[in-house]
Structure 1
């Protein structure tokens, strides 16, 4: 589950605040990223965008993703390279964002909770560094793969 929607500001509002000119294509790409149920790579964004706008060009998608990444409005993720060199995009959260990536089956979990928030406090107490944004990827084995309830599949990059 992807939890990138932040209360208050949509990606489009954040784009406008950064001075990005909102074209119909950029609006479509922002909407796709904001409403994604899975992590999307650039080709997936392009394929989904073509369902709505047959005239959108691949280069427009790549340039828009690069612009949004440069402005720190979206993040580019490799998710522990479980799918080789494929990179994924999601709207940048304002604070804490954790990805737990199963190295056996490639599933991605995004837990929330007090544990992760308390981790920020511990970092501050022990180092004097005050985390404002946390983006963390951890690789391991999901509960289904560890207990044998899911047939582990060899994922590229292992």
Structure 2
């Protein structure tokens, strides 16, 4: 941990769940259920406090994909910024984009406006052409 915070059993268990499920973007409740499997003594409030601390320390990123559920994702030191997401508004499927397509825009913002971007997040909401629920909706509309 950083900023002189100790790595407690509760914090380690929470981080371990995030590491083991990195691609899942889990909610606090989902993280709690996984933590509880190995550490039944750890409560939901403890997991919430741990996630807030990890967010404050920039170890995890708190995100919302429009479904009113806060989700948590480990920050990656390999990238200067967070990755981006494609989110299907019909079925909820999500795909990560690891490439940073906004670097040129950031340089332009600094050059033209004197604004230095520290971080950004980009989410595309739409529908996958392969979304089974989208196909049902399209077929109903065509009928």
TM normalised by structure 2 equals 0.77
Runs of 4+ in 1 over 6 A off after TM superposition: none
Please say if 1:151 is aligned against 2:136: no
Query: Is the radius of gyration larger for structure 1 or structure 2?
Result: 2
Sort the Cα spacing of 1:132 and 1:38 in 2 relative to 1 into closer, same or farther, 3 A.
same
Equivalence for 2:63: 77
Sort the Cα spacing of 1:141 and 1:20 in 2 relative to 1 into closer, same or farther, 3 A.
same
1:114 CA drift (Å): 5.5
How many residues of Structure 1 are paired with residues of Structure 2 in the alignment? 132
1:126 CA drift (Å): 4.2
Sort the Cα spacing of 1:109 and 1:123 in 2 relative to 1 into closer, same or farther, 3 A.
farther
Please say if 1:136 is aligned against 2:118: no
Sort the Cα spacing of 1:144 and 1:129 in 2 relative to 1 into closer, same or farther, 3 A.
farther
Flag structure 2 segments of 5+ consecutive residues without an equivalent: 138-143
RMSD: 2.3
The structure, 1 or 2, with the larger RCO (C-alpha pairs under 8 Å, 6+ apart) is 1
TM normalised by structure 1 equals 0.71
Flag structure 1 segments of 5+ consecutive residues without an equivalent: 1-14
Equivalence for 1:92: 75
